[in-house]
Structure 1
Amino acid sequence: MCHLPSGKLEERRSPISQNRAKVAFLRGTLPSVWNVQGLGVFANDNCSLSPDLPLAFVTLPDLGYWLRTQRDRHAKSGNPNINVRAAWSVVRLSVDDPTGSALSAHRHKVAGDSSVNI
């Protein structure tokens, strides 16, 4: 639920459930030592999240803090750093989109549906 300034509640689909298939794909594609997590980011500035929600739900202003805590946790874990270029290459090889046009179309669709920039 998104609490709008007018006091009205607006029901929203869970970002975690929206991303479940994507997270499963990445977990199945990338090495298991790489910690793939789902995160629900509510980009609408009018949303206020219940403190009872899982920590995997954040608002856009809280995203930077969440990322810093995850970076700190990773640094203390002793796990190897993730080679993002290598991960991206593995993902690209696993998807039938040789020109990148499907990815570009998806990014523009998502950008049109939210206040988050491409």
Structure 2
Amino acid sequence: MTNWRAVFVGFVVATVLGIVGLALPGFGQIAAGLAGGFVAGYMAGGGLGSGFWHGLLAGSLGGIIGGLLVGVAVGVAGLALGPVGGAVSGAAGIGIFALAVAISLVMALESAVAGVVGAAVSA
């Protein structure tokens, strides 16, 4: 059974550290995803599979939210530029979707691995 509290806390840790990690682009976000997955796996406990699952969910949630924020920012920028900007941002939507999926996969996988470590430490 999924411990949603552990997933949410892991997501919040990853989000807060990701914002702080903007000072070190790339490395800060990777470290944030690892920390969030570790916290989710540690809080959930219950073995390596449970840690993997909870870390995966925490990382996926962070990736989905991050992708949505990028999409909204590009959409608002397109609306501000009028009809031509709307057409350009609509065409860029496919690329934004691909980027959001890639971000979600990377964040989910690194958080899942860290969740396994967190579950192993908690045992």
Which structure has more strand as a fraction of its residues? 1
Is the TM-score greater than 0.5? no
Q: Report the TM-score, using the length of structure 2 for normalisation.
A: 0.28
Between 1 and 2, higher relative CO (CA 8 Å, sep ≥ 6) is seen in: 2
